[in-house]
Amino acid sequence: MGKKTYSFFPGCSLKASGHENTQSLLKFCDMVDIELEELPDWNCCGSSSAHSVNHDVARDLPLRNISLVPKGQPLLIACPSCLIRLKQSFLGLKNDGNLQKKYEQDWGRPFDPGLEIIHFFELFKRIQLKAYIKDPKTRLKGIKVAPYYGCMLSMPPDLRNEPSHYGLMEEALSSLGADVISYGYETQCCGTYLSVAKPKLSERVVTQIISRAMDAGAECLVTACAMCHLNLEIRCALKNPIPAFHFSELLSMALGAENQKKWFPKHIVDPLPLLKQRGLLKS
Amino acid sequence: MIALKKGHGELARQIQERSGINFNACLHCRTCTNACPFVAGMDYPPNALLRLVQMGMEQEALESSTIWVCVGCNTCCSFCPMAIDIPAVMDSLREKALATGVKIAEPDIVSFHDEVLKTIEKYGRTHKLEIMMRYKLKKRDFLSDMGVGLKMLKKRKLDLTPSRIKDKQALKKIFKKQIKQHKIDKQ
């Protein structure tokens, strides 16, 4: 089977902070015959700060990224926040002829209305995991996981027609043998940058999310957002919180990746004791 | 009884024009308020803030903590039965608050946004370590979160050097006006 190539937008969180997320994501894609080409010279999407205080910069930062995508390649975005910024910009561009003129003038490329911008979940849906694993049910057997989406499933009204990915992690993890825990806080926002400017407020929500998951019997959380992952790790006020995995880490592990020992030491809450206890990782 | 001032519709008109959102469709059903994870940190819940804008209570709306505490997680607007993009309204209110020079209820949050934008202007990408150092320096607060910072450094979650883009001209095009620190008086 030939490899399918995607243009890859890592975003700042994965590029400079969530290294284990990037490494496991790349490993996973490689294992399922997907080639990722990092978007050449990509820039920050503007994050929460640009749209909070500078409307023009918030509009222009994502547009340059859109202009850099090689024609015909779908653009894969790993960070849920970057995804919304780029999708909204793309939609704005599609609906505004004047903005298209400005875009073509600024970036010297014709606007391509056919560009496909997708999240990792969308790509995951296109993969037949069973084609790569003979005994899927044994791969994460016995581990009690609490999927955590944070705000990534909440879409602003103009993106309401986007496909919903609710239940995707539940289905994937249980197909790999994990015991999926339901705890009611799967889609509670982690507080993103309030973690810096209002740490107490952030601590309150993060501690609530993790406590509820633990009360429901979870042994770990699983998230598909590097920002959420960081907040879960640094803002939990509990003495012995459960570890949090990146979704891509568990997927790569299930596929038999062997370089995961490089990822887990980057976690602040060590997940190794749990994995060893469940016999999922040999010491 | 609330006596509406003459020209009370002006604020709503401006915000509607800037954000492109018709928040007059709001039913005040409080779905947003019940869904908001950070309502505990706000002085007005989201629907009450929309009411302030509808009634032209400019000072109360622009000086509220609500507009800064909202992180734009979209939980409110994904449940809103009238599909009002409340975070987009917040964006326009913040912009107006900074432009009008009213008292800012959450200066730390503005200061954080400024530092983030400054690193994007400089490198084309954010640089977490620099953002944190400058933010703390301005706040003259080095002790809180020292433990978290050290842990993150140890686990290499704060890269020492920034990741940069090559095309500096592109940044000049995007940041036509230099990002300046907003001057905010501590209340």
pLDDT in tens, B122-155: 999 999 999 998 998 888 887 888 888 888 888 8
Q: What is the mean pLDDT of chain A?
A: 94
Reference A178, options A208, A212, A211, A221; nearest CA is: A221
Please check whether residue B148 touches A, CB under 8 A.
yes
Contacts of B25 in chain A (CB under 8 A): none
pLDDT in tens, A98-120: 999 999 999 999 999 999 999 99
Number of domains in chain A: 2
Does a structural domain hold residue A156? yes
Chain B, 97 to 116: residues with Cβ < 8 Å from chain A are 98, 106, 108-114, 116
Residue A25 to residue A259: CA distance in whole angstroms: 12
Q: What is the pLDDT of residue B176?
A: 85
Contacts of A66 in chain B (CB under 8 A): none
pLDDT in tens, B152-170: 888 888 888 999 999 999 9
Residue A113 to residue A92: CA distance in whole angstroms: 11
Contacts of B148 in chain A (CB under 8 A): 234
Does a structural domain hold residue A99? yes
Q: Cα dist. A205→A103, A208, A211, B90 in Å?
A: 40, 5, 10, 21
Q: Do A50 and B75 touch (CB under 8 A)?
A: no
Q: Do B38 and A201 touch (CB under 8 A)?
A: yes
Q: Do B98 and A53 touch (CB under 8 A)?
A: yes
Is residue A147 located within the same domain as residue A272? yes
Domain that holds residue A255: 135-277
Q: Where are the alpha helices (DSSP H) in chain B?
A: 9-19, 31-35, 46-54, 58-62, 66-69, 75-79, 86-100, 107-123, 128-139, 146-154, 168-174
Of A120, A148, A165, the one marking the end of a domain is A120
Is residue A115 located within the same domain as residue A139? no
Element containing residue A228 per DSSP (H, E) = helix A226-234
How high is the ipTM of this complex? Answer: 0.92
Residue B185 to residue B178: CA distance in whole angstroms: 21
Q: What is the mean pLDDT of chain B?
A: 92
Of A120, A147, A172, the one marking the end of a domain is A120
- pLDDT above 70 for A77: yes
Does a structural domain hold residue A266? yes
Is residue A87 located within the same domain as residue A158? no
Which sign, positive or negative, has the C-alpha torsion B73, B74, B79, B81?
Answer: positive
Please check whether residue B183 touches A, CB under 8 A.
no
Domain locations in chain B as residue ranges = 8-100, 107-172
Q: Do A47 and B157 touch (CB under 8 A)?
A: no
- pLDDT above 60 for A150: yes
Q: Do A17 and B173 touch (CB under 8 A)?
A: no
Is residue A79 located within the same domain as residue A27? yes
- What the block records as the tokens of A89 is 């910009």
In words, the CATH class of domain B8-100 is mainly alpha
Q: What pTM was computed for the model?
A: 0.94
Instruction: Identify the CATH number of the domain in which residue A22 sits.
Output: 1.20.1050.140
Q: Do A197 and B112 touch (CB under 8 A)?
A: yes
Per-residue b/e over A50-68, b at no fewer than 16 CB within 10 Å?
bbbbbbebbbbbbbbbbbb
pLDDT in tens, A8-27: 999 999 988 889 999 999 99
